[in-house]
Amino acid sequence: MTTETLDRTSDRTLTATPQDIRRALLVGSEIALIDVREEHEFAQGHPLFAAQIPLRRIDEEARWRIPRLDTPVIIYDDGEGLARKAAVRFEGLGYTDVRELEGGLNAWREAGYELFEDVNSYSKAFGELVEHRRHTPSLAAEEVQALIREKADIAILDARRYDEYNTMSIPTGTSVPGAELVLRARTIAPDPDTTIIVNCAGRTRSIIGTQSLVNAGLPNPIFALRNGTIGWTLAGQELETGQTRVAPEVDNRSAEDARAHARDVAYRAGVKRIGWEELEELKADKARTLYLYDVRQPREYESGHLPGFRNAQGGQLVQETDHNAPVRGARIVVTDDIGPRADMTASWLAQLGWEVFVLDVDWSAVTLEKGPDGAPGPRGPEGRYKRPYEGTDNKAAAMQAYLDWEYGLVAQLERDGTHGFFVI
């Protein structure tokens, strides 16, 4: 996007057209397309690579989510009058290239471009593309229930965050958040004849988790639980609540085996490996946005992490990339102290179209920082979009509508034409 394509609407604010934004996405320029409405309104429809920062949260969230102050930031609303206020707010924080989407979201509609519903839409669309391209194996809820009833040799691995698992889970399931799967699955199911079933709340994380194990060459029969806990509930089957089963610790031999397989997957995805010198060079490049993420579990991160790295569990980083890295076209460096979690996370980010690196260094030679990530806390019940897969009181019609929406995402990606995803 060049300044020649922009028009000044006031002494303060420049504008960008939908065509400017699409062009930037297609050529890979850095761009932060920010919806400043509340999450509920955002979830009703937005461009594929839009990220959401409500007007009331700009001061708390902008600086860590868009770290480079000269990033092209395009702000829009849907006629509510929020965009101009948001532009002033961003400029007050020091951002120097702030523009409004000319005509707002309606201009995007009138240009004939796709609008995507829900949240984390492009990660979910990618998950559907993975299943479409790789024919990721899955079992229906009724089939899994029958296996549990028969006391078959199965291991159900829940790929969500632990708190989601603890709220409600598939009977006999164990919490193994996404990026932990390749590291810990062999310890949980050492017998190659044990059938591994990966679940999440809906579809994306179970598809990505299952395909991670397949990509890493586990010898077991591996399946996703089709439609996750939503499918389980729609089948009229009971969920457990308050469960605390977690994966056991991994011995050195298992960790080394997982490291080798995960590294191979990352290599096939085109992930680059760097050391300290290369990281410093990336940091020194002030023309590019750089995100640094430690992809381990929060308790591990808090006990000691590399300076400058924020915490985002690997599975959630892939699931919620728009939240953790809203600048499309930026660079991402991921790390973990063992290796497999960073490699598997990076393999998926690369397929999502990111320039991604794994920092591969000796952690024992570094003075680690301790304590939690310094990101702002939760946004609160206000303006939040209620996911149809959260909690235990969701209506069947809403859950089915959510699944139907996911089924249509591959076709929407094709119509949109800006994604740049690939599947190994």
What pLDDT digit, counting tens, does each position of 92-145 carry?
A: 999 999 999 999 999 999 999 999 999 999 999 999 999 999 999 999 999 999
pTM of the predicted model, to two decimals?
0.95
pLDDT score of 268 more than 60: yes
Q: Where are the beta strands (DSSP E) in 325-392?
A: 331-335, 355-359
| Closest by CA position to 270, among listed 421, 417, 136 | 421
| Averaged confidence pLDDT in the chain | 95
Domains present along the chain, CATH in parentheses: 15-117 (3.40.250.10), 126-249 (3.40.250.10), 267-365 (3.40.250.10)
Mean pLDDT of 365-382: 86
**93 vs 392, higher pLDDT:** 93
Mean pLDDT of 38-51: 97
Which residues partner with 116 through β-bridges? 46
Confidence of residue 384 (pLDDT cuts 50, 70, 90): confident
Confidence of residue 204 (pLDDT cuts 50, 70, 90): very high
224 φ, ψ to 5°?
Answer: -85, 145
Output the pLDDT for position 374. Answer: 84
Q: Which two tokens stand for residue 370?
A: 């301790």
Output the pLDDT for position 97. Answer: 97
Residue type, 133: R
Q: Where are the beta strands (DSSP E) in 162-266?
A: 174-175, 195-199, 222-225
What pLDDT digit, counting tens, does each position of 11-36 carry?
A: 557 999 999 999 999 999 999 999 99
Output the pLDDT for position 404. Answer: 94
| Closest by CA position to 114, among listed 321, 414, 353, 421 | 414
Distance CA 223, CA 364 (A): 37
Mean pLDDT of 285-297: 98
Residues 6+ apart with CB under 8 A from 159: 176, 177, 178, 181, 198, 199, 200, 205, 206, 208, 209, 315
Q: Can you tell me whether residue 62 is helix, strand or coil?
A: helix
Distance CA 305, CA 337 (A): 9
